[in-house]
Amino acid sequence: MECDKALEQMMRALDGELPDEEWQVLGAHLELCDRCRVRWEQLQAAEGVLRSAPILSPPPGFVGRVMAQVDRRRARRRAFFGGLALVAGTTLVLFIGLLPIFWTLPGWAGFLMALSRSGDVLLSHALGAAHLFLNSLGLLAGALVIQALPLALCSLMTALFLGGLWWSLLRRWQPVSS
């Protein structure tokens, strides 16, 4: 029990937090207890070794290397978000651009067939096609929900392909540092 107390005092002594009166108590214990005296000497020796070790500086050019790395990471980050924007933009443009074409495809087919036959039905079909086209624009919002999935997947695949192409080109232009 006394040795435990002495050990606790030794630690506080090493921290510079042991009051004078407790120093005297510790000193008295160390005179009587060989085990604690040896331990105290070893603790002081370890203290001396640690305090004698120098502070080490980084090799020359360290700051420059860090800043070059920061620059590279920033460029890669910008490139990544650029690629992401490209994918998102392409998906959206393809999706919106292709949807009316798919949507009005049956109408246009009818119009083309009628055109081949000509005659008085031509006018009515032309009006019908114009109506379909205008209608398709109005129905675009609804179509986004109803028939959008296959088209969105097509757009996404194309966009991902373009994104991958963009990324590989970036890697070629700007190799990733080790």
Partner 1 sequence: MIDEATWIQQAQKGDMDAFARLVHLYQTSVYHLAYRMLGERMEAEDAAQETFLRAFRNLSQYDSARPFRNWLLSITAHYCVDRIRRRRPVLVLDDELATGRVGADPGDAVAAWETRERVQRLLTRLSAEDRAAVILRYWYDCSYEEMAQILGSTVSAVKSRLHRARLVLAQMLGEGRE
Binding status of residue 5 toward partner 1 by CB under 8 A: no
Binding status of residue 65 toward partner 1 by CB under 8 A: yes
In eight-state DSSP terms, residue 147 is S
The C-alpha atoms of residue 88 and residue 50 are separated, in whole angstroms, by 57
Binding residue for partner 1, selected from 73, 78, 131, 171, defined by CB under 8 A: 73
Q: Give the DSSP letter string of 48-106.
A: HHHHHSPPPPPPTTHHHHHHHHHHHHHHHHHHHHHHHHHHHHHHHHHHHHHHHHHHTHH
- For residues 106-145, b (16+ Cβ closer than 10 Å) or e, as one string? ebeeebeebeeeeeeeeeebeebbeebeeebeebeeebee
Binding residue for partner 1, selected from 71, 112, 130, 160, defined by CB under 8 A: 71
Binding status of residue 59 toward partner 1 by CB under 8 A: yes
Binding segment for partner 1 among 51-59, 140-148, 154-162, 168-176 (CB under 8 A)?
51-59
CB of 41 to partner 1, least distance (A): 8
Binding residue for partner 1, selected from 46, 96, 101, 113, defined by CB under 8 A: 46
Binding status of residue 52 toward partner 1 by CB under 8 A: yes
Which residues of the chain form contacts with partner 1 (CB under 8 A)? 11, 14, 38-39, 42-43, 45-47, 49-59, 62-63, 65-67, 69-71, 73
